[in-house]
Amino acid sequence: MDRIFNDAPARSDGAWTIVALAAEAGVPRNALTQRHPDLRNEFYDQVRTRGQTPDHEKRLRRQIAKLKELRVADAVQIRQLEADIEALVGALHLSQLENSRLRTQPANPDIRLLSNRVPDSQG
């Protein structure tokens, strides 16, 4: 822990993370976090007392900010889609009314029957 806080890491990248602490200790990360939560908590306490925010917390805060932006963008898109649905429903309704009107209307209302008489060759 001291090597990380003194910027003298021997086996890690020196980040103030549990991963770096485990690498410095030469143990798997899960052994440190699951079997020694007291060391994990002590590490995070020291990070906070030194005025730093733990890297995992920074990462989570960035992710939360990004998710909030996406949520706002999704809300805008949802409002647009709802407006589109209203317009499409209206257009569909008008099409159905027009279709119904055309089906009930006579097929050729302007056609007039002409006489069946064949014209003479004399005219």
Terminal C-alpha separation, the chain: 119
Q: Whole-angstrom Cα distance, residue 119 to residue 117?
A: 6
Residues 14-46 pLDDT 10s: 787 888 888 888 888 888 888 888 888 898 888
**Mean pLDDT score across all residues of the chain:** 85
Q: How far is CA 28 from the centre of its chain?
A: 34
Q: Whole-angstrom Cα distance, residue 113 to residue 99?
A: 27
3-state secondary structure of 80: helix
Percentage of residues in the chain with pLDDT exceeding 70?
87
Residues of the chain with pLDDT under 50: none
